[in-house]
Amino acid sequence: MSGKLFVIGFGPGSFEHITKRAREALQESDVIIGYSTYVDLIRGLLTNQQIVSTGMTEEVTRAREAVRQAEEEGKKVAVISSGDSGVYGMAGLVYEVLVEKGWTEATGVPIEIVPGISAINSCGAILGAPIMHDACTISLSDHLTPWELIAKRIDAAGMADFVIALYNPRSGRRTRQIVEAQRILLQYRSPDTPVGIVKSAYRERETVVVTTLAQMLEHDIGMLTTVIIGNTSTFVYDGKMITPRGYQRKYTLSADEQPLKPHQRLRVENEPWSLEASEESSLASAPAAPAAATSTAVLEAPPVTEVEAPKAPFAWAMEALTAINAAKGIETKPVAGQVHRPVSTFTPEMIFECAISPGVANKKITPLQMMAIAEVAGEKGEIEYTPHHQMILRVPTANPESITSRLRELGLILSPIGDVLQVKACDFCDGEKKDSIPYADELHQKLGGKEMPKELKIGFNGCGMACYGAVQEDIGIVFRKGKFDLFLGAKTVGRNAHSGIPVAEGIEKEEIVPLVERIVNRFKKDAFPNERFHKFFQRVGELEGYAWYEPAKAEIENAACGD
């Protein structure tokens, strides 16, 4: 009979949140070993397995017994942990026992670690979305870890602005640790920082409290509780804790907040806290170093018998770096002029962004307008040229009104950017062919800047030459012989790009704006998120009586360069 060890994390305790593999491993096992409370939670999944249950502080005994039965008796033994067995669970202890016995994976008893849902994840799901940014778990139990070390970790996590999940926050005998943790964190975070307290997550006696860092101790906290403390950007909405993905907020004209797209997040100017950004923003990333320094110190630092004045996290980081460099024979130069500040003083940078153009038909920006744009951009702003008859302005400011009012006074048109509608008109031969300009203006006034499932562009040309490429936009409108021609579903990018399908000719002037409005409203209502207009047209097959058909495909030869 061949023995095997399973170390199983069964999640928060409800059957619905136990993984399929965990259930299978329990059924495959001959023996179940675990803390008595945990055994009771999964008893309904067991059949005729032998059960070995012990008290809370007998983890080492359970690990040794599991290894003994698997190695000496050839049994399949399951050691169970709530949450994930590799997060304050039994996985590490079982491996330690095996290492003591000279176990190797090639020759020793097989072992399988079955992952489960840890408390930081299960409680985070109940609370909303508090773990959306960098987070850490800290156990407040000082049975196996000196309190001085735990306190240093809380201090480092507080300064580094981690979302923090506190495990084992308080027991009948350990009551001061949670009080000390609160005291340390209040040095770096506002008393109003959101805190979630979850007891017995997904079990019959589940309780959930959303409170603040200042008031957290007023609530019931025990060994079955997980405490999740937000960072400086965490907020509460409708009883849910929410931590934004990033610190920077972008304001545009259509909404208070515009999320960065993936390709925008990677730009240095959109990450002022990154290593590649300016020296000022690099200060914000400095606190991240202490975590590595602290974890290195764990192996070598003896228990502290005399409490010393606490060191700043930067000092710990420099001490660790000096030790590492010394081992390599490298001299560590001191950092001059280093400035430290608590995380609570960090204010998210507000970036206002909008599109600027001199008009729907007008393509000329005056020197006065250009100077004003440059002045409001300043040294830290950004002006981006685009091929869409617009410039994009991005300015760090918490007061967008001061910018928009000045630019509008100079006659500039400001529009939101992103997944919105834009009317791209020609210059109507510098205004000489002006008969259709009122219709382009009306489309802009009624539809310009309107939020869409995906960016949507209406091309508008004032004569049959269509020299500004209206037929190559999502919706193309060409004024010809006193009436309008309509093109739908151009594929605007790619080597197989093509013009729109010519769906109608000779549309009366008074009909064109209402017709386009109906088409746009249908797209807004029925399109999938991020679905381009040409794909939408193909999928629905018909818009306002105009049928989609496959445009002629050009034969595309492979490029000589191999691309």
Q: Helix/strand/coil (H, E, C) string of 334-391? A: CCCCCCCCCHHHCCCCEEEEEEEECCCCCCCCCHHHHHHHHHHHCCCCEEEECCCCCE
Q: Which of 436, 431, 426 is nearest to 510 (CA)?
A: 436
Q: What is the dotted CATH code of the domain comprising 120-242?
A: 3.30.950.10
Question: Where does the chain hold its CATH 3.30.950.10 domain(s)?
Answer: 120-242
Question: Where does the chain hold its CATH 3.30.413.10 domain(s)?
Answer: 420-547
Residue 236, pLDDT above cutoff 70? yes
DSSP lists the bridge partners of residue 476 as 459, 487
Residue 338, pLDDT above cutoff 60? no
Question: Where does the chain hold its CATH 3.40.1010.10 domain(s)?
Answer: 4-117
Do 273 and 285 form a contact (C-beta atoms < 8 A)? yes
Query: How far is 65 from 52, CA to CA, in rounded Å?
Result: 9
CA distance to 362, 394, 493, 504, 561, per residue, from 497 (Å): 28, 30, 5, 21, 20
User: Which residues are within 8 A (CB) of 103 and not within 5 positions of it... i.e. 6 or more apart?
Assistant: 109
pLDDT at 142: 86
Tokens at 499, concatenated: 């013009």
Q: What is the dotted CATH code of the domain comprising 350-415?
A: 3.30.70
Residue 489, pLDDT above cutoff 70? yes
**Average confidence (pLDDT) over 274-297:** 43
Residue 482 Rama label (left phi>0; alpha psi -120 to 50; beta) = left
Query: How far is 350 from 400, CA to CA, in rounded Å?
Result: 10
What is the tens place of the pLDDT at every residue in 368-398? 999 999 999 999 899 999 999 999 999 998 7
pLDDT at 344: 45
CATH class of 4-117: alpha beta
Q: What is the DSSP letter of 82?
A: S
SS3 (DSSP) at 519: helix
What is the tens place of the pLDDT at every residue in 126-185? 999 999 989 999 999 988 789 999 999 999 999 999 999 999 999 888 889 999 999 999
Question: In the structure, what pLDDT confidence band is assigned to residue 491 with cuts at 50, 70 and 90?
Answer: very high
| Topology, domain 420-547 | Sulfite Reductase Hemoprotein; domain 1 (3.30.413)
**Average confidence (pLDDT) over 485-507:** 93
**Average confidence (pLDDT) over 468-472:** 95
Q: Which of 510, 530, 522 is nearest to 546 (CA)?
A: 522
